[in-house]
């Protein structure tokens, strides 16, 4: 798939190499680079996955990196439901209704 100018894309780049990281970080964190993935609108006329491209973020910042995805999905979630929390709303409602009687 080819991305065209204005397409919503995700890029990747290394923000800091291990030797550039802050000294007060935990050892396992300091040993690896700070990797950045950011989404924005493609500024190049067209590009393929793996190409180095420029994007404009929603706040107008121009950033350069390797094209990873075209029209990337949002993959975050709030994790698995916690049984105890699923029941809190009903329990609270029962408590409130009980006080009103």
Host domain of residue 30: 3-74
CATH number of the domain residue 39 falls in: 2.30.30
Q: What pLDDT does residue 55 have?
A: 98
Please report which residue ranges of the chain form alpha helices under DSSP H.
Answer: 27-30, 83-100
In a domain, 46, yes or no: yes
Single pTM value for the model: 0.73
Domain contains 85: no
In eight-state DSSP terms, residue 61 is -
**Each residue of 27-68: pLDDT tens digit?**
999 999 999 999 999 999 999 999 999 999 999 999 999 999
Number of domains in the chain: 1
Q: How many other CB atoms are found less than 10 A from the CB of residue 3?
A: 22
> Is 83 or 21 the better-scoring residue by pLDDT?
21
> Between 93 and 99, whose confidence is greater?
93
């Amino acid at each position: 798939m080819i991305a065209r100018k204005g397409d919503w894309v995700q890029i990747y780049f290394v923000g800091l190499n291990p030797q550039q990281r802050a000294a007060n970080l935990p050892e396992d964190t300091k040993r690896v680079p700070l990797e950045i993935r950011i989404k924005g609108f493609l500024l190049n006329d067209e590009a393929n996955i793996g190409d180095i491209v420029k994007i404009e973020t929603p706040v107008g910042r121009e950033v350069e990196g390797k094209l990873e995805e075209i029209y990337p999905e949002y993959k975050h979630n709030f994790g698995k439901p916690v049984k105890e929390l699923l029941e809190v709303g009903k329990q609270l409602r029962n408590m409130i209704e009980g006080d009103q009687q």
